[in-house]
Structure formats: C-alpha cells, structure tokens
Structure 1
Amino acid sequence: MIHPSARLVDAETGRVVAGGELSGLVAAAADTLGAVRAPGPVFALTPTDVDGVVRYLGAFAARRAVALLDPALPALPGLVERFAPAVVTGVRGAAPAGYRDANLPGLGPVWLRTGRDGVAPHPDLGLLLTTSGSTGNPKLVRLSRAAVRANAAQIADSLGIDGAAVAPTTLPLFYTYGLSVLNSHLLRGATVLLEREGLLRAGFWRAVDTHRATSLAAVPYQYEMLRRLRFDPAQHPSLTTLTQAGGRLHPDLVADFARRMGGNLYVMYGQTEATARMTVLPPARLADKPGSAGLPVPGGSLAVDGGEIVYTGPNVMMGYAESAADLARGDELGGVLRTGDLGHLDDEGFLFLTGRAKRIGKVFGVRVNLDDVERSLAAHGPVAAVAGDDRLRVFLEDGDPRAVRSELAARLGTHVSGLDVRAVDRLPLLPTGKIDYRALESTA
C-alpha cells in the first residue's frame, strides 16, 4: 500500500521519512511482528506520529490483523481481555496479567502475550476499527486487506490524488476518515503531513504553509469552527482542495466553503463499516445537486430498500467482532452493507441523506427525527439534539435558548414543555471531531 514516492513528514519535529527509509522501517516492523508466535491480532495504540504509522503499516505488511486504537482509550483493558491480542504496541505502563513488557526491534515498547494458545484471525482479516462513537464496550469492525486497499484506490481515484498532493492530518489515524487520508495518499506516492496541534491552533496553519499542504479533510463541526475562524484560503495559497465527511454538512456551509475554495470542495459520505467512504459529490455538481452526498465511489453501487440506504462494493466489512472468536469468522456480508441511514436517490443516481434510522426521539409520543431537528436549527450555529423521557434535549453553543425553544416548538407543533434547550460553552466531541451524543444523553 506504500508507493515508492510516498512521504511522511512530522510537522512538530521536521522529520521526513520516505522511499527506501520508509520501506525499511515498515519491513523491520513487519519482520518483528511476523516472528511473534502467539496467535491473535495486533493492538496498535496509534498516535499521529511516524512511529505510529510505521507500526500500522508493518502489521499490514506482516499480514497480521491490526486494530488501530486511541492511545487514551479507557476501554483498553476490557478490549485486551475480550480479544486476546498477541501484542499491544505503543503502550505506556506495566503489562496486564498474561502479558509481559518487552522492547522489540522496529516496534519499541510493547505488551507481549506470554501464552501460545488463542484464536488465529481469519487470513483475509487486515484491519480492525472500533465502531464510531464507541465508549465502554465497543465492537470492532472487521475489514479485509482487500477492502482497505480497494477503498484507498477508490478515494484516490475520486479525488484525483497524485504524487504532488500534500495532506495534513486533521483527524486521528484510528478514525476511519483520518486513516483513509493516510492510506489514499501513501498509495499514490503523495505526502502526509503528520500534524498534532489541530486546525484551531496557529501552529497547524504554520505547518500547512511551511509544507505547502494542498488539501484539508474535516468533519462538519470543524467546518463550523473554520467559519468562526474566518478561514480565508487566500492566506494559504498552496491549499487548493477541501474534503468533508463524518456527517451531513449543512447546505449553507457547503455553499459557503465551495465559494471560498472556488468550487474545490468534495462532499463525501461513508462509514467505518465500508472501510471509509462510499460516495463523493464531484465539485462540478455542487451547484445543481445541493444537499447531495454524491455518487458511489468507483466499483460501488447504491440502492434504497424501505427508505434505508444499501451500499454494495469491495470496501464493505467482513462483519463485526465482539470477542476473539469472531476474529476467525470469514466474510459474512458478501459486499452488501445495510447502512442504517435513510435517504433516496434521484434520477441520476445521486444520493440524498435524510437521517439515521436510530436517531429518532419522541415528544409526547410523537416520533421526531433528531437529525431534522439539528438541520432546522443550524442557522444558530453548532447544535446537538438527543432524546430522553418523552422529551427532546437540545444543546446550543450560540443563540438564546428561550427563543430557540419557542422556535422549535412552533416548528414541531408541540408544547414548549416537551423541549429542554440549553446553552453550553462547547459541545462535547469524540476524538474523531464528531459530537459525543452519549455524553449529552447522560446529562441530567
């Protein structure tokens, strides 16, 4: 998956790893992992740095199923117990029971399982990612090596990525959207700028300018923040393209950022269960397809069954895993994914999303689409809606809660007593940049 011309650049240290050096580091990590005799996956705690990328690519090259995990994941002990990884890389602290601390060539500090028993993952299994928004007890999405490579090529083709591209990391590498930026650029011999500060910090933009980044990937909340920052692409002349996924971007923001970028905005739709992305809206169709998530990536197709979007393609997962035994299972979906998202296709096959099947609440017994609620209030800035106890709770970063409550009651045709609208300084976010709805649901 690594083109000979691919480069990694660490924005903080200035370290550049490319060509033979990159291949050598990956090969060394692969050799070490290949010599680990215990069965089971590799658990890779994956920070945004060169070593984290090398450990991931080394596991992939060694044909060891690798789970990319948040280094700060609170559920790690439980996941280790459930999935019995052969080795855990990028660790800090003492090894748990059944493991020993080691320092392995090409990997650095690890926890190494002491026993030789356990479940061997299916030979096609390449990548494991936690389900989006998972907290205490996440499932793992099982992705084949073929699916990872296929989606990297689909994305690279759809976005026209070539060796001149330079993409900064704006999202974690253990998040499917962030990882897809890495994979698609390495596949085509481009440069990935490993940046850890985040796009709200001045250092990020200095790195963009210093290393002449050409594109930037962001989720809807980050676009809200960019608007607040009065993002002006003229101040960053190398930056020619923006991409968006990770949730539906309000049409007003689509139009706004397309205007700022002279039309060079790619709106996309995807899920971890489809490796990363399933559709792309070509910039040339932004004007005549407002609100659309685009057309299927090459090799993919869409259908709608009872209002639910069904995607078929080579990038669909093998299935879920809830325990080590599930890792030995083969492909259970046959390339067909029922997404759980609602929408429709127009007469040209362009996809329009209307909501999430499970994002439904009730107000006095009446079903309400929470995504529709958020879209209706988007003019007030960042907003999130959750359900609970036959009421809706709405959280605002901007706007007057009393006025918004009255506006929403009129829009829904319900009494204000069924709505709880609150002002917050900042909506809670997952490491992926998405809104942490579970944290809001737990708010009394």
Structure 2
Amino acid sequence: MELYHLISENKNLIFTDATTGFSKTIKEMHQSLEIENLRSVVFIYNDNQLPAVETFLNFYQSRFTIALLGLGVNVEFKENLEKNYTPYYIYDPSRSEIEGYKVVDASRTIQLFKRIENAIYPIHPKVKLLLSTSGTTGSPKFVRLSDENLVENAQSILDYLPVKSDDVVPLNVPINSVYGLSIFNTNCIKAHQIVCTDKDVFKKEFWHDLKNFGYSTLGGVPYFYEMLQSIGFFKKDYPALRYFTHGGGIINHKLIEVISEYTEKYGKKFFAQYGQTEASGRMAFLPPEDLLRKRASIGRPIQNGRFEIEENTSELIYYGPNIFGGYAERRADLQFYHQEEKLHTGDQARKDDEGYYYITGRLKRIVKLFGSRINLDEIELLLKDTFGGKTFICLDLNDKHLAVLYTDANLNREIMVQTLKTKLHLHASSVKIIHITDVPLTVNGKVNYPLIKESLESEILVQ
C-alpha cells in the first residue's frame, strides 16, 4: 500500500502516548501484531490512543479492508454493523466479549476479537478504508475509499501545509473522522512526533500536554474555535504552535477577525479548509494571507482538483482523483468500487472575480418557513457576526418555528428577537429562543443538528 509506504519511509516518525509518555517508532510498529493476512474486513473502534493507532497501521499494511469507527458509538449501532458486515477481526477495548467472537492476543498489549465462524466474501481490491457517514446512530452506511484516494489527498494537502520534519502533532481530532485522518496521514508522512491522545481539548490536562510536548499545530471545526475564543485562548501566545487548520463549516466574520489579529500578532498561520468524507478529506483551502481579505471563503481547489457551480441549483461540484468509490450499506456492496468522475457536494456556492469560492448554504439546510425560503446557515452567521462570534444553532421545528439556540447566558434574548425581526422580517411568535449549556456533537466534533432537532421536536409533542 502506497500510503503505508510513504509513512514507513519517514524514519524520523515516532508515536507517543500522551498519558504515559511512552513512545514507539514507526519501525517498532511495523508488523508488530500477529494477524492473518486475508482479504477480509476488520472493524477498528478508535479512541486515538497508541494501541488503536498501532492496530490501524498494522492492518493498513495488510490485505484487510478497514472500517474505522469511533469507540464511543452505541452498542446497538455496533451490533447492527457487525451483523451486517461480519468482520473477521474487531478491535474494541471497551468490550470484554462479543457474541460469535473469541479473544486473541495480537501482541503483549493488544487484544483482538476474532470471528469464530468466519464468513469470507468478495471484496474489491481497491476498497481499502470504510468511513461512516452516520455518526453514532443510524444506518450502516460507509464511504468506500481506496489507497489511491488517500495518497492523492495527503499529497495535495502537503503541497500547501507547512509540515516540518520536527513537528509535534496531537491527535485532537479523531482519526475515524476524515478530517482527523487527513491530519494523521499528512503528518505521519512528514512530521516527527504524533501524540496519541483522547484528552478533552477544553480540560487543563490537554493544555498541560500542549506546553509539555510543544505542539506545533492544532486543528478543529468552527465550534472548536468558538470555544477557544470563549476561554480566552487568543489572548495569549503559545510559542511552539506554528499553524492552525480548520474544516467542517464556515467560521463567522467576527471570529475570523479575532483569529487574524492573533495570528498576525504572534506570527502564526491559519488554514481554512473545505472537505467531505466522499473526497477523502480536503477539496479546497484558503491561504493564510487571504484570511481577512477573503473572510468566509473556502479558497480555491487543492492541487489536482477543480470546481464548477451548477447553473440551476448553484450546487458546488468537485472533480479530482480523491473522490470516493461509492457507498456501502451492506457487505455485498464491498465487491464494487466505482471511481466517480465528479462529486455533488450538496453545498450551494458562488465564485468571486478572483476565483475564490464561497459556500452560501447547504441544500438540506434551506427550508420553507412562514411561506418563505430560509437559509439556516445564513441566519447562524448573521447572529454570530451580530453578537461578536458567539455560538448559535438554528433549526426549523416541525416546519412551523425557527429555533435559535445559544450558549452564552449573558446574551440578551430580546435583542436576538429584535435582530431577527429587523433583518429577516420574522414575527416574534414564530421564533423560539432557547438557552443550552451543552452542545451535542457528532463523532467528528460538529454540531449534531439531527439529534438536537429530534430532541426539541419531541419536547414540543409532549407539551
């Protein structure tokens, strides 16, 4: 596998456990597990710890197809997936037994579950990695990715990211998300130290590690940067940090101003990026020098990629060698791999005169309320910009109300209502303003809109 070859060629690479400080070189990780080399499926429930990373790298260099999932997905979801795909091996440190499987020692420190009655079925040789699209619950739907997809994307990212051979990189984004995986792949190819951690980035233990290890970079979705602002992160310098990356949505204008001022003051770089699982990670990036000038832009396509905008719907279409080979919803789907020519992103976009692209909304986030088409993403950005970059979440409830959720208890609800009334001509009775203390997130760290919407609509039905 070429990706593993590129990683193993980095003789400088080490992996460190954040809690113990124990490290392993890439050479020590090579074929460190006793596993059968079959054309079959392995499920790896990842927690970003060193054993999970070691298991992932061992299976990646084998003939196995890897389904990479989060350790925290609920047991019912796990059981449904395992019934559907009958994996040969399972890595799951959260369970002591799995029906139909026996425990085997793959090494002195790593145990696997091995299927007792093995079901070998046809798998297309290009199907190397399966990433879930459904978060913690839902249908067992995977994106089929090839080794070539991942290599192409990693090399395109390395074309613009300033990764250095002495960089120390924390896995603060789960590698079972495509964003976290792209961070992992690119830095394994070129950086020095990967710090395996599952520590909460908003707890003091993580910030102790940041100083102790001297992290070179941090990555996160918009909510991550909103939270950094709320805890005063941008008021202080962390000398080892050289650059930041971002993915998973648009950052509001006010926060962009804060980040731009911070990076200019302390000599950092901030790379806004745009990507999807179906594109193996990244599709576009905004150069740091354009951050303030082209705020809210996703920039331009990555190396070997290109965009076009569909005339009738304004949907952004992507072309590139990192586009996936289709979806899988059952094990029979794994025998196929169809390299798509183009990817319908589901995002609406526009392009300015200089060739920079802007996401204007998500097709699924444009709803009809009160007889008018409303873009929920635009309303969120409006509120975030009006209230200094604070966190807001906007949803439609039962096609009857606009729900506006906010996290800062100091904000004035009446001013929120007045803002919506003035800017959007909405009547106060059609808006529900709700304060929340905790924001439910998906396994990728994004706001879990479906879960919040389901919870709120259920409450309305009960009332």
Question: TM-score normalized by structure 2?
Answer: 0.89
2:373 maps to a residue whose letter is: R
- Counterpart Cα distance in 1 of 2:414 and 2:235: 36
1:26 maps onto 2:30 in alignment: yes
Identify which of 102, 108, 111 aligns with 2:110: 108
> SS state of the match for residue 393, structure 2?
strand
Deviation of 1:386 after TM superposition, in Å, equals 1.3
Identify which of 399, 403, 423 aligns with 1:411: 423
CA 195–104 in structure 1, closer or farther in 2 if over 3 Å, else same: closer
Q: Which residue of 1 aligns with 2:404?
A: 394
- In the TM superposition, what are the counterparts of 1:353-368 in structure 2 within 5 Å? 353-368=359-374
CA 345–147 in structure 1, closer or farther in 2 if over 3 Å, else same: same
> SS state of the match for residue 419, structure 2?
helix
Deviation of 1:319 after TM superposition, in Å, equals 0.9
1:195 maps onto 2:201 in alignment: no
- Counterpart Cα distance in 1 of 2:135 and 2:425: 31
Unaligned runs of 5+ in 1: none
1:286 maps onto 2:317 in alignment: no
Identify which of 252, 255, 260 aligns with 2:254: 252
Deviation of 1:269 after TM superposition, in Å, equals 0.6
1:17 maps onto 2:24 in alignment: yes
Deviation of 1:106 after TM superposition, in Å, equals 7.3
- In the TM superposition, what are the counterparts of 1:301-320 in structure 2 within 5 Å? 301-306=306-311, 307-320=314-327
Deviation of 1:374 after TM superposition, in Å, equals 0.5
- Counterpart Cα distance in 2 of 1:267 and 1:204: 23
Identify which of 313, 317, 326 aligns with 2:333: 326
Question: TM-score normalized by structure 1?
Answer: 0.93
Identify which of 211, 214, 221 aligns with 1:212: 214
Identify which of 343, 349, 352 aligns with 2:349: 343
- Counterpart Cα distance in 2 of 1:278 and 1:294: 10
1:321-375 CA distance string (max 9 Å, x none):
11101111112413x2111011012233211111111012232232211101111
Q: Is the 8 A contact 1:32 1:105 kept in 2?
A: no
- In the TM superposition, what are the counterparts of 1:65-104 in structure 2 within 5 Å? 65-74=65-74, 75-104=77-106
1:213 maps to a residue whose letter is: Y
CA 91–305 in structure 1, closer or farther in 2 if over 3 Å, else same: same
> SS state of the match for residue 227, structure 2?
helix
Give the number of equivalent residue pairs.
436
1:266 maps onto 2:271 in alignment: yes
Deviation of 1:64 after TM superposition, in Å, equals 1.3
1:94-117 CA distance string (max 9 Å, x none):
544433333333782222122343
Deviation of 1:232 after TM superposition, in Å, equals 4.0
Q: Which residue of 2 aligns with 1:426?
A: 438
- Counterpart Cα distance in 2 of 1:235 and 1:388: 42
Deviation of 1:266 after TM superposition, in Å, equals 0.7
96-105 vs 123-132, greater mean Cα deviation = 96-105
1:393 maps to a residue whose letter is: A
Unaligned runs of 5+ in 2: none
1:190-223 CA distance string (max 9 Å, x none):
3222232222122212211111111111111111
Deviation of 1:376 after TM superposition, in Å, equals 0.9
- Counterpart Cα distance in 1 of 2:249 and 2:231: 21
Q: Is the 8 A contact 2:263 2:269 kept in 1?
A: yes
Q: Which residue of 2 aligns with 1:375?
A: 381
Deviation of 1:33 after TM superposition, in Å, equals 4.1
2:287 maps to a residue whose letter is: P
- Counterpart Cα distance in 2 of 1:400 and 1:138: 42
Deviation of 1:273 after TM superposition, in Å, equals 0.9
Deviation of 1:294 after TM superposition, in Å, equals 1.0
Q: Is the 8 A contact 1:309 1:343 kept in 2?
A: yes
Deviation of 1:134 after TM superposition, in Å, equals 5.3
Q: Is the 8 A contact 1:25 1:106 kept in 2?
A: no
Q: Is the 8 A contact 2:73 2:136 kept in 1?
A: no
Q: Is the 8 A contact 1:40 1:84 kept in 2?
A: no
- Counterpart Cα distance in 2 of 1:106 and 1:58: 15
- In the TM superposition, what are the counterparts of 1:87-236 in structure 2 within 5 Å? 87-105=89-107, 108-131=110-133, 133=135, 135-232=137-234, 234-236=236-238
Q: Is the 8 A contact 2:256 2:292 kept in 1?
A: no
Q: Is the 8 A contact 2:243 2:269 kept in 1?
A: yes
- In the TM superposition, what are the counterparts of 1:425-444 in structure 2 within 5 Å? 425-442=437-454, 443=456, 444=459
CA-based RMSD of the aligned residues comes to 1.9
Q: Is the 8 A contact 1:360 1:387 kept in 2?
A: no
> SS state of the match for residue 257, structure 1?
helix
Q: Is the 8 A contact 1:55 1:107 kept in 2?
A: no
> SS state of the match for residue 361, structure 2?
strand
> SS state of the match for residue 27, structure 1?
coil
Q: Is the 8 A contact 1:309 1:339 kept in 2?
A: yes
2:52 maps to a residue whose letter is: G
276-285 vs 117-126, greater mean Cα deviation = 117-126
- Counterpart Cα distance in 1 of 2:170 and 2:235: 15
- Counterpart Cα distance in 1 of 2:108 and 2:56: 11
Q: Is the 8 A contact 2:348 2:363 kept in 1?
A: yes
Q: Is the 8 A contact 2:29 2:57 kept in 1?
A: no
1:288 maps to a residue whose letter is: R
Deviation of 1:128 after TM superposition, in Å, equals 0.9
- Counterpart Cα distance in 1 of 2:18 and 2:450: 33
- Counterpart Cα distance in 2 of 1:60 and 1:325: 21
CA 311–387 in structure 1, closer or farther in 2 if over 3 Å, else same: same
CA 118–95 in structure 1, closer or farther in 2 if over 3 Å, else same: farther
